[in-house]
Every structure is written in C-alpha cells, then in structure tokens.
Amino acid sequence: MSAPKPSQTVSRSGRFSKGPAEEVLKFSESVSFDWRLWRHDIIGSMAHARMLKSIGVLTAAELQEILEGLGKIGEEIEDGNFEWKTELEDVHMNIEAELTKRVPAGAKLHTARSRNDQVALDMRMWMREEIVDVMAELHTLQLAMVQLGDRNKETLIPGYTHLQRAQPVYFAHHLLAYVEMLDRDKGRFRDTFERVNVCPLGSGALAGSTLKLNRKMVAEELGFVNLEDEPVISRNSMDAVSDRDYIVEFCSAAALTAVHLSRLSEDLILWSSSEFDFIRISDEYTTGSSLMPQKKNPDMAELTRGKSGRVIGNLMSLLTLIKGLPMTYNRDLQEDKERLFDTADTLRACLRIMAGMIGHITVRHENCLDAASDPVLLATDLADWLVEQGVAFREAHHLVGAVVGVSESLNRPLDKLRASDLKKIDKRLTKQALEVFNIKRAMERRQMTGSPGVKEVRKQIKFWKNELKD
C-alpha cells in the first residue's frame, strides 16, 4: 500500500479513494483553535511511547527516534516555525503526521490509541494547568481586596438592601464579603481539579485495546496521581472518551466566579459615580469619552460585568452540546474547545484586570462617612436598645417606626430629637436611648463573629492576611 497522499489525511488513508472536499476541510478543522493543546499532546505522546517501549511495541531505538522527533517538533512550534496544516484537521494529526514524515517509527506511535482518548487526555492536562493559574489569580485578587480594606479600615459606608441605605458597615467588611465569595470559587476549582486529574489514555476509540497497555505507567508519568501518589486512571473506556463533565464543572465554577466579579464591578461602578462618590479609580484604569471632555468612565468594571455574559453563555452552550449525545464520542464534542478556551481566557483576563484596578482605587473617606452617618441607619440599634429594656421586639419595632415618623414630621434628625419628643411616643424611650446614635459606639457594639464591628472586622482582615500570605 502506498503512503498517504497529502490530499488523503492520516485518518482517511486506505478506506477512502478521494480526499475531502475543500469546504468539508474548512468546516471540520479544529487545528485553528486546538493547536494550543500542542504541548500537552507532545508530552502525552512521549509518555505513551515510553509505555509502548516497555510492553515491547517499540524498540529502544524507535523510542529514541520518536522522543527526539517530538522534542524537535515542540521546539519548532514554540519558536513559531511549525506549519499547521488545515488538511490535517487537528493538532493531534498535525503532530503525528509531521513526526511520521520525519521518523519511520512515528507510524507506530498511535498504537492502541485513538484521537478520542488522546483529545480527552490533552484537555485534562491543559485544564490542570489552567486551574492552578485561575486559583493563583483568584488569590491575587483576594489579596488586593484585603489590602484595600486594610488601607481603609477606619472607613464606614452605608450597607444597602434594595439599594436603599440600611445600616452602617465598614468598607472593609463589604470588600471581605467578596473575598469570601472568591474563596468559595477557589474551592470549586480545587474540587474540579480532582475530577479533571484522571487519565483516560488506554480507552482507545471507545473500547480500549487488545494490546496489554500499562495504563498506570502512563498515568504516573503524566502526574495523574492522587494525594497518596497512586495513579488515577479512568475505570470505563466508554465514559472516558465521551465524558465532558469536567469541562462543564470548570465552566460552571468559572460562570459563578464571573457572576461574583460582575457584582463587584457593579458596586465599583456605583461607588465611582458622582451620586455615590465613595471611590476614585485612577487614570490608568479608567477611560475618557470621545465627546464629553469631563468624563472618566469605569469601563474596565463595565467590561468585566459584560464579559460575565460570555462566560455564562459558554456554560449553557456546553450543557446544550452534550445533552442529546448518544454514547460515546461524537464529533459534536469538538465544539467543547472554543467554549472552554474562551471561558478560561475571559475569566482570567477579568481576574487580572480586577486585581490591577482594585490596587488603583482611592477611597473618599469623608463622603463615605457622610453617607454612613445618617442616624436613621441606626434605627435598628434603637429597637435593640428597647429590647434590652425588656420591650418585645415587635413592639420595639413599632415604637421606633413612630420615632422615625416624628423625626420626619419635625424635620429633625433622629439623634437631635428632644427628650420630650421621645417621651410623648413612649415613656420607656428615655434620654439615654439617644446614645445609640453615637456611630463609633454603635460600631464597637457589633461584636459577634461575622458582624461589621470594629474588632471583628480587624480580626477578619488579620485572618485573611494570614490566610493569603504566600
């Protein structure tokens, strides 16, 4: 049998008498985006080759040829000197065909392997690195948030519900809420890693191989090991080639992270508006208007908010992609890559820009305090005070409502009400009640774990500084 002609791709040789139509090549190729798996494809192939040698499929000399050939191809790709060919469809066939062209033993490399288990392997290896990087970027953002809080630990702002001023909180407490969210995100990526870190190689196209492969050897060499250093290999060949759960998990963790970043963006956008004027984002992280000379816009936060839509969309695409697929591998699955790559790239770009921007924010301490000092934000403290005097909370709530009503009708702030105004509402409302409106004292009294009190927030800042230190 003659060697495959260029028009007959590796996967078509023998069975086909004609090459694929031009538009078929264009429609089905994936090398334009899966080329980025090249490093993992080569490392995976090297491990597979070593294993083939260990079971006698390759001689030592053949293995050497293959390893050198793959190493050389890797260098060329790295240096941008490798020519990717659309007619070879994907990264796997590009590398294998080039290797085989250079060294005859290359023709043995695909023994007991299919692109179906190969692509699953490459993706899993690629994702392990991405997960580590995403987690590091989450860490950096958390640290930037903690440092911003630490630099402004005296700053009070109103906490909001329904976007209405509710109760005073430390600015740092608000930031630490996001640090908590990001920490859960980190946990979700960590969990995902465990299910990504399973070696599918040896599953073949769907039904393994009649050859006696040493799957554990490959797994070990490629770092697919558990905490006890034992190799972790897939238990079911059909599942291994058709499973994309781990990609969905990654994209789901990413979508939730993107949602958190979107909410953070929204807060930053509000805070930097003239209406709030709580923060200033420095010039490096803002943009101007092409028409209005006075404008300084928080575009980085807006883009981060906007890009969360893409990340959420990618998750939906993947779920939809998978839901109707019969077992096992179907070419539909090639569509997973762009969604995954875009998710990882977008999320990581958002994490980095956010961390940079957070480091370039100055807090308008006076404006924050002004907004937080409205005594009406301490109305609940007055109800708590009444509870301490033995009044049932429901009644206390009602009485304080009346106090707020009187304050409004007299146009007199709560803390400036006269003892006689209070007494008219209820005799239990003595002059001492007004002491609750001392904001400093009010913040000192919030002592429970999780509350935005002075000591507690400092404790939390300290906790996170320690937790996040390298």
Catalytic residue (one of 2, 17, 162, 290): 162
Residue whose CB is less far from ligand ARG, 15 or 331 = 331
Residue whose CB is less far from ligand ARG, 116 or 252 = 116
Classified as helix, coil or strand, 328 is coil
Site residues (CB under 6 A) for ligand ARG, limited to 156-215? none
Number of residues near ligand ARG (by CB under 6 A): 11
Residue whose CB is less far from ligand ARG, 93 or 354 = 93
**Residue range at the interface with ligand ARG (CB under 6 A); choices 152-160, 248-256, 292-300, 333-341:** 333-341
Applying CB under 6 A, which of residues 126, 170, 246, 329 lies at the interface with ligand ARG? 329
* Residue 81 Cβ vs ligand ARG, minimum distance, rounded to whole Å: 23
Instruction: Look at residues 437, 449, 423, 432 and name the one whose alpha carbon lies nearest to residue 388.
Output: 432
* Residue 116 Cβ vs ligand ARG, minimum distance, rounded to whole Å: 5
Residue whose CB is less far from ligand ARG, 115 or 174 = 115
Q: Is 334 among the residues that bind ligand ARG (CB under 6 A)?
A: yes
Q: Are 92 and 118 in contact, with CB atoms under 8 Å apart? A: yes
Site residues (CB under 6 A) for ligand ARG, limited to 335-364? 337
Q: What is the full DSSP assignment across 222-262?
A: TT-B-TTS-B-B-S-HHHHHH--HHHHHHHHHHHHHHHHHH
**Residue range at the interface with ligand ARG (CB under 6 A); choices 19-27, 163-171, 325-333, 374-382:** 325-333
Label residues 120-155 b or e (16+ Cβ within 10 Å = b).
Answer: bbbbbbbbbebbeebbebbbbbbbbbbbbbeebeeb
Q: Are 361 and 279 in contact, with CB atoms under 8 Å apart? A: yes
* Residue 86 Cβ vs ligand ARG, minimum distance, rounded to whole Å: 12
* Residue 189 Cβ vs ligand ARG, minimum distance, rounded to whole Å: 23
Q: Amino acid identity of 385?
A: W
> 86 CB contacts (<8 Å, ≥6 apart)?
25, 26, 29, 31, 32
Catalytic residue (one of 28, 32, 282, 289): 289
> 54 CB contacts (<8 Å, ≥6 apart)?
214, 217
| x/- map, 237-276, ligand ARG, by CB under 6 A | ----------------------------------------
Residues 231-237: contacts with CB within 8 Å, 24+ apart?
231/199, 232/197, 232/198, 232/199, 233/198, 233/199, 233/200, 233/202, 234/198, 234/199, 234/200, 234/203, 237/117, 237/202, 237/203, 237/204, 237/206, 237/207, 237/208
* Residue 336 Cβ vs ligand ARG, minimum distance, rounded to whole Å: 7
**Active site includes 162?**
yes
Residue whose CB is less far from ligand ARG, 14 or 450 = 14
Q: DSSP state, 108?
A: G
Residue whose CB is less far from ligand ARG, 31 or 354 = 31
* Residue 29 Cβ vs ligand ARG, minimum distance, rounded to whole Å: 8
* Residue 123 Cβ vs ligand ARG, minimum distance, rounded to whole Å: 8
SS3 percent helix, strand, coil of the chain, rounded to 5, is: 65, 5, 30
**Residue range at the interface with ligand ARG (CB under 6 A); choices 140-148, 326-334, 415-423, 434-442:** 326-334
* Residue 90 Cβ vs ligand ARG, minimum distance, rounded to whole Å: 4
> 200 CB contacts (<8 Å, ≥6 apart)?
117, 120, 121, 124, 233, 234, 240, 241, 243
Residue whose CB is less far from ligand ARG, 308 or 334 = 334
Residue whose CB is less far from ligand ARG, 65 or 96 = 96
Classified as helix, coil or strand, 169 is strand
> Whole-angstrom distance between the N-terminal and C-terminal Cα of the chain?
60
Q: How far apart are CA 370 and CA 310, in angstroms?
A: 38
Please state whether the peptide bond connecting residue 328 to the residue before it is cis, i.e. omega within 30 degrees of 0.
Answer: yes
Classified as helix, coil or strand, 412 is coil
**Residue range at the interface with ligand ARG (CB under 6 A); choices 249-257, 331-339, 377-385, 419-427:** 331-339
Q: Amino acid identity of 30?
A: S
Q: How far is CA 377 from CA 167, 373, 438, in A?
A: 5, 8, 11
Site residues (CB under 6 A) for ligand ARG, limited to 82-141? 90, 115-116, 119
* Residue 292 Cβ vs ligand ARG, minimum distance, rounded to whole Å: 48
Q: Are 176 and 457 in contact, with CB atoms under 8 Å apart? A: yes
Neighbours of 446 (CB within 10 A): 20
Helices 245-272 and 115-151, packing angle to 10 deg: 30
**Active site includes 409?**
no
**Residue range at the interface with ligand ARG (CB under 6 A); choices 153-161, 176-184, 247-255, 330-338:** 330-338
**Residue range at the interface with ligand ARG (CB under 6 A); choices 69-77, 104-112, 302-310, 328-336:** 328-336
Residue whose CB is less far from ligand ARG, 246 or 329 = 329
Residues forming the site for ligand ARG (CB under 6 A): 30, 34, 90, 115-116, 119, 329, 331, 333-334, 337
Active site residues: 162, 289
